[in-house]
Chain A
Amino acid sequence: MSSIRLSQTAERPQRELQAYDPRELTPLVLGGHDFTSITDLVTDLALRKTPRMWYVAMAGALSLLSLLLVTVAYLLTAGVGVWGNNNAVSWGFPIVNFVFWVGIGHAGTLISAILFLLRQRWRTGINRFAEAMTIFAVCCAGIFPGLHVGRIWLAYWLAPYPNELAMWPQARSPLLWDVFAVGTYAAVSLMFWYMGMIPDLATLRDRARGRLAQMVYGILSLGWNGSSRHWVRFERAYLLLAALATPLVLSVHSVVSFDFATAQLPGWHTTIFPPYFVAGAVFGGFAMVLTLSIPAREWFGLRDLITPLHIENMAKVLLGTGLIVAYAYSVEFFTAWYSQQHYEQFVFLNRPLGPYWWAFWTMVCCNVIAPQSLWFPWIRKRVWAIFVVAIFVNIGMWFERFVIVVTSLSQDFLPGSWAMFTPTWVDLGMLAGSFGLFFTLFLLFCRFLPMVAIAEVKTVMPQAQTTRHQIKFDYQPSSDTPRELRRGSWFT
């Protein structure tokens, strides 16, 4: 059975369609696996021999992480003057990196929560490490607002806590909304990720051979034993968390966009920012999921779980959100023209033609032109081609935030205030180093935690399918049935 059969039906000649049975679901797990072999496949990554590529990738990630530590140490000792931020461009790389990483995190929540509500069964192959990607992306994002306050040891002043000065943060400020939104997002994503992992951690506990592994997985899995009474509550809680995470992810990146939209700056002060940012976040995030999952399926032997169908579906989401982003760009230009406001019009002429034209055109080529190749099956059926497009989109999405922040600030209302922005080695080092932190955490996750949602993948395998007719649903209690069984107790 071909895993891409469904997408081939369009090209299939009519006479062959009779052989295609629409009652059969496209297999989401290849290779003729059963529950035993799937369990072996995924738990071996954590419990048995580590693949060699893990060490190679970890070496690269750790070197970038050390670059981050060096630049952060230098920043803390020398002050924020070591960044390229200046008087016109007072927000530079830190906020660009912050928005970039927070945006990447949103794809993980979309895959976990939104695709779950939409009953997309193919999400099970990728949702665990997409959620992990969210957690680590939010970690990387959080270091930038923390550092950019300068005296990071006073960052707790952002929180509303009683103090002797009767000093409270201003609840009207988007910067405080960010504190609540990103903090809530980090907490809820962590809870969702951890709760989903509990059954898989129990699987690891029950298959671990070493005492230390048994103890650690035993503690983390909280004594889970596969009880159906527990599963019923677990499933309900999972659904509720997915339903909560969906509006949350939409609100978080909207709040991040409010950092810009509530300002008066032309190029920032526009109502399109919330949907534009959210769509862009999903776009960039899916590109990062693809960037991670395509090597991971090769290096960790997960080609049967992350199938070409999964990759192609993600590529389609990439194409769809890329179209929304392209539309948003054109709406911005249209609005600037339609407004007949000369400041607004100047900003949007300055972006393609001004001193940062190279950043603008990189953004357009990477975000608008490159994803259009995904219309063509020749590209979409080739995993390596999708990987190339995903890399382009990652680059393009970073440049989008750069263009928004730097070009709008660099040349705003008064020409006498204009100033060019040049990143310093600390700016560039922190950007590269944040990737080091991200990949280090991600590789640690791959090595020690269940990389694929084992229980969820099993539920979409044929062995888990049952038909309603196999059990008797009309439950007629007899007269000497205890009261607890006649009608469910109200509290369970």
Chain B
Amino acid sequence: MPTVTAISADQSPTAAAAGARPYAIIAEFGSVSEALKAAAQVRDADYLTWDVHSPIPIHHINHAMGLPPTIIPWITLGHGLAGMAFGLLLTWWINAITVPGLSPSVQGYEFLISGKPLFSLPANIPIIFETTVLFAAVGTLLAMLGLNKLPTLYNPLARSRRFLRATADRYLIVIEAEDKKFDLEETTAFLRSLNPTAVELVTE
């Protein structure tokens, strides 16, 4: 039988006294199926600024939350093409061309080796392939971190001990006060109706 604790102020002893502004409400769930079901209900209630925090990537969470697909694969493709272009340009410039009049530091140099063509695509493919993969991989990682706005320097939710269990063994639905539909009593009652094991208010 899930228990719902009375909504409590966050652990800071001065928050309640100062009447601090609410930042978010956390609803804790013990199992992934409950969290998924609850997430679908929050989605259907038209909340926008909310999230589900979990220790694992929940299968189908993007459907339950109504999340659109991410643009990261296109960024990977773009970076890969840029890497390929860079590799082509590099191998061409350093071995296949000499432009008279340029400074020696940037001047290319024509390597004439046994009468072979100055630019030979098969010979340069290993380097071009590697630069393609390198640029694509770097682009993927930076895109993921950038779109996730990582590194995040400060998160008010981290002051809640309950929230820290999101990286271990609990599933938390967090609705932030910034949301247009947020109302302290209504949102609390709504979250309670989802049968969580606990509900907690986090203030600024």
Contact = CB atoms under 8 A, between A and B. Distances in A.
Given A168-B94, A233-B148, A459-B56, A244 B169 contact: no
Interface stretch (A224-232, A402-410, A420-428): A224-232
Contact of A184 (B54, B68, B130, B157): B130
Indicate the size class of the contact surface on chain B: 35 or more
Interface string B74-93: 00100000000000001100
Interface stretch (A60-68, A235-243, A313-321): A235-243
Contacts of B37: 470-471
Contact of A160 (B32, B43, B90, B123): B90
B194 interface: no
A224 B31 CA distance: 21
B39 to A, nearest CB: 8
Contact of A490 (B52, B71, B107, B145): B71
A205 to B, nearest CB: 8
> What class of interface size applies to chain A in its complex with B?
35 or more
A165 B157 CA distance: 58
Nearest to B52: A228
B1 interface: no
A1 interface: no
Contacts of A199: 55, 167
A330 interface: no
Interface string B110-148: 010100100010011011011101101110110111011
Interface string A243-256: 01101100100010
B130 A237 contact: no
Contact of B53 (A219, A226, A241, A463): A226
Given A206-B167, A237-B143, A470 B36 contact: yes
A473 B56 contact: no
Given A180-B126, A181-B130, A463 B32 contact: yes
Nearest to A219: B151
Interface majority SS (helix, strand, loop, mixed), chain A: helix
B178 to A, nearest CB: 14
Nearest to A177: B126
A203 B55 CA distance: 8
Interface in B63-77: 63-73, 76
A222 B36 contact: no
Given A248-B133, A484-B48, A240 B57 contact: no
A195 B144 contact: yes
Contacts of B140: 237, 240-241, 244
A237 B144 contact: yes
Contacts of B54: 226, 228, 231
B185 interface: no
A244 B133 contact: yes
Contact of B126 (A258, A463, A488): A258
Contacts of B71: 490-492
Contacts of A465: 32
Contacts of B46: 478, 480-482, 485
B158 interface: yes
A59 interface: no
Interface in A446-492: 454-455, 458-459, 463-468, 470-473, 475, 478, 480-482, 484-485, 487-492
B82 to A, nearest CB: 14
Contacts of A454: 55
Contact of A203 (B95, B167, B180): B167
B14 interface: no
Contacts of A172: 95, 111, 113, 116, 120, 123-124
A231 B61 contact: yes
A230 to B, nearest CB: 5
Contacts, number: 254
Given A187-B134, A236-B73, A36 B167 contact: no
A170 interface: yes
Contacts of A485: 46, 48, 66
A128 B40 CA distance: 33
A211 B31 CA distance: 31
Contact of A459 (B51, B57, B129, B152): B57
Nearest to A487: B68
Contacts of B150: 198, 222-224, 230
Interface in A174-208: 174, 176-177, 180-181, 183-184, 187-188, 191-192, 195, 198-199, 202-203, 205-207
Nearest to B34: A470
Given A180-B130, A225-B53, A236-B70, A206 B105 contact: no
Nearest to B157: A225
B148 to A, nearest CB: 5
A471 B40 CA distance: 7
Nearest to A35: B169
A2 B49 CA distance: 46
A477 to B, nearest CB: 8
A160 B91 CA distance: 10
A482 B53 CA distance: 24
A228 B51 contact: yes
B55 A226 contact: yes
A481 B33 CA distance: 26
A113 B58 CA distance: 20
B166 interface: yes
Interface string A36-51: 1001000000000000
Nearest to A206: B164
Nearest to A198: B150
Contacts of B124: 171-172
A416 interface: no
B8 interface: no
A163 interface: yes
Please name the 6 residue pairs, one residue from A and one from B, whose CB atoms are nearest each other, closest first.
A488-B68, A223-B152, A35-B169, A168-B94, A237-B144, A222-B151
Given A203-B168, A478-B46, A491-B71, 15 more contacts: A36-B168, A162-B105, A164-B104, A170-B95, A177-B127, A180-B126, A203-B167, A207-B164, A222-B150, A225-B157, A226-B54, A227-B52, A237-B143, A247-B133, A482-B180
7 contacts: A171-B95, A183-B134, A203-B55, A225-B53, A470-B37, A478-B46, A492-B67
